Structure 1
Amino acid sequence: MALQAHSRSLQQRGSSRAFSQSCQPPKRVLLGKCRVSTAERGIQAENYVKHAPVTLLRPGVDTEDSVRARFEKVIRDAQDSICAAISEIDGKPFHQDAWTRADGGGGITRVLADGNVWEKAGVNVSVVYGTMPPEAYRAATSNATVNKNKSDAGRVPFFAAGISSVMHPRNPHCPTMHFNYRYFETEEWNGIPGQWWFGGGTDITPIYIDEEDMKHFHGTYKAVCDRHDPAYYERFRKWCDEYFTIKHRGETRGLGGIFFDDLNDKEPEKLIAFAKDAVNHVAEAYCPIIKKHINDPFTAEEKEWQQLRRGRYVEFNLVYDRGTTFGLKTGGRTESILMSMPKTAQWAYDYEPAAGTREAAFLEAARNPRVWV
């Protein structure tokens, strides 16, 4: 049984800075279309705009030297450079939607669909602000104080900026990769002081084990972490394995990476520098692995194993992922939130690979996470 992820025809609605030169418009162009969800469902209106704004921040409020402005620049620059690196390998450009949000802010969604290398790849940037329901606040953080507060009185004033991406290749020997880097602020709410924190990480989801690939990927991020804090890699590697565990399966979604959340134990300048270093090494960590396996031959059985592991990916994202939960609870743009879904996936009843196979070896690593570097 295959899960066909909902998709729509992606029209080019504008361009952003250097990216505009590499993005080719499709045959049909729809500009300025406003898609309004029903008020009864409590979902934000999405106003599609012709050109991505130079900034998604509030004019006259968020100054150029603010943490908000500096982080927006980091994620906007990263979106440009990562999309360029992926397009160079695939040979096909990303299509872009730029949108604004009635309550404040907006985003830039870029998707490469039905590519030569990737079946589906997306890199999203969003900068949003306003108020959110308390349950969304709790979904956004693992902060114990917030989650122990039982009162749901009022709405929480917030600001959130982030970049997120998932890339699903065609070849089962090429791994899926995910990254997300974000900055979050709240104002005082219901007796809880205003909060700010950084979160994110980069993780990899192959379906077969290649020791050399894992050493390269994890080694790249260990080097990033070590430049900022020698304790980061071990701490964030463990956190990644714990966070991306599919609890009802007793296995991890993939083979790890780094993950962190609620990070505010250093000056914002130092944490921005760390997030910038990490997101700017996505291509270095991932692209050499894709280039290595891009032309690997594969069998129908290997493709089916890829589909089964994608099913696990879907399960984690819909059941456990806090970013998905937060986006849906705050009335976010559904297409951007569910961009992480693979184009196809598969489930098989009570499937267990035969002992001694490469599939069984991968499952053992997912059930007992390894230290790769």
Structure 2
Amino acid sequence: MSNGFEQQKAQASGWFRTLRDQIVAAFEGLEDSDKADTPAGRFEVSETTRATDDGSDAGGGLMSVMRNGRVFEKVGVNVSTVYGALGAPAQAAMAARGVPGMADDPRFWASGISLVAHMQNPHAPAVHMNTRMFWTPHAWWFGGGSDLNPCIEYDDDTAHFHAVQKAHLDPHGADHYPKLKAWADEYFYIPHRNRARGVGGIFMDDHCTGDWQADFALTQDIGRAFLPAYLPLVEKRRDTPWSEADKDTQLIYRGLYAEYNLVYDRGTKFGLATGHDANAVLMSLPPLAKWI
């Protein structure tokens, strides 16, 4: 398993960086095209590193965060490529998910992109997207997806978001969209609130058919679906008049979003457990939130 995967790792990490660059450019373009009198938002970019006890090279990435823009109140687009040996808690978690051989050889490599956007206008939906590749000497897989998180729901926005996801997944097999939609509905659910986090999307994890190229192509199309699924919704809603009651609804919803990310999200747990930059891991949290 360890031989012959260096080229695939490079392909995957390169693709995640390319997708990051496309999204950053598109989001800054939204800021430029908005008619507000305030300055257009720009991403602040910083390097991140994965911490290890012995100080050895363990990889890192780029954290790109925009705050207080015309359209985006806070949006982060992170990419990372990290590697090394998993600690005991992470090994146990991987073993519980069925990854073989972790006790004997805990080496790993992981690369991906993660994005969360929180909007100025309560009528413009928040959104989450990530895709990733994970490798060990014993197994490899892809994961990720995207889901829409409006605090004020519009049925036509939800329909558009899902239709674009389906159009990008259907060439890979008609069964993919319904399977990944159902997976997202199950994963992005908050048990202690008895409700979904948002209006769904698509999600997969531990995806490995044995055909790396086919699985990578599917992962790429999950990423490619994001901008056409999301940008038209922002362009449609960013100028909708809103009230203080609308803003209050948004802040309460953000509290719900924060609860999910801190309690249930696998990416948050993995990032903190493996020593990745805490600010990058917690980039998903909103700038302001409210609890009743």
Q: Under a length normalisation based on structure 2, what TM-score does the superposition of the two structures give?
A: 0.90
Distance in structure 1 (CA, Å) of the matches to 2:57 and 2:105: 13
* Identity, % of aligned positions: 40
2:32 is the alignment partner of 1:82: no
Q: 1:178 aligns with which of 128, 153, 159?
A: 128
Counterpart among 7, 13, 16 of residue 72 in structure 1? 13
Contact 2:49 / 2:276 at 8 angstroms: preserved in 1?
no
Residues 299, 181 of structure 1: alpha-carbon distance in 2 compared, 3 angstrom cutoff? same
Supply the AA of the counterpart residue of 1:88: G
Q: Residue in 1 aligned with 2:63?
A: 109
Match of 1:124 in 2: 78
2:110 to 154, 157, 160: 160
| Residue identity in the other structure for 1:276 | Q
| Aligned-partner Cα distance in 1 for 2:88–2:269 | 13
CA contact (8 A) 1:134 1:155 kept: no
Corresponding residue number in structure 1 for 2:174: 230
The answer as to 2:223 corresponding to 1:279 is yes
* Residue in structure 2 matching 1:322, options 266, 269, 273: 266
> How many residues in Structure 1 have an aligned counterpart in Structure 2?
278
SS at match of 1:248: helix
Tell me by how many angstroms 1:104 deviates: 2.2
1:95 to partner: Cα distance: 1.2
CA distance in 2, matches of 1:116, 1:168: 12
Contact 1:128/1:161 (CA < 8 Å) preserved in 2?
yes
Is this contact kept in 2: 1:63–1:69, CA < 8 A?
A: no
Please identify which structure carries the higher helix content: 2
Q: Which has the larger radius of gyration?
A: 1
The Cα of 1:198 is off from its aligned counterpart by 0.4
Q: Secondary structure at the match of 1:66?
A: helix
Cα separation, partners in 2 of 1:217 and 1:139, compared to 1, 3 Å: farther
Does the 8 Å contact 1:173/1:206 carry over to 2?
yes
1:311 corresponds, among 230, 255, 266, to: 255
Contact preservation (8 Å) 1:139, 1:325: no
Relative distance call for 1:142 and 1:228 in structure 2 (3 A) is: farther
Instruction: Check the 8 A contact 2:17/2:79 in 1, yes or no.
Output: yes
Alpha-carbon distance in structure 2 between the residues aligned to 1:232 and 1:306 = 32
User: Which one of 197, 200, 205 corresponds to residue 253 of structure 1?
Assistant: 197
Question: Residue 335 of structure 1 is aligned with which of 270, 279, 282?
Answer: 279
* Change over 3 Å in CA distance of 1:159–1:145 after alignment to 2: closer
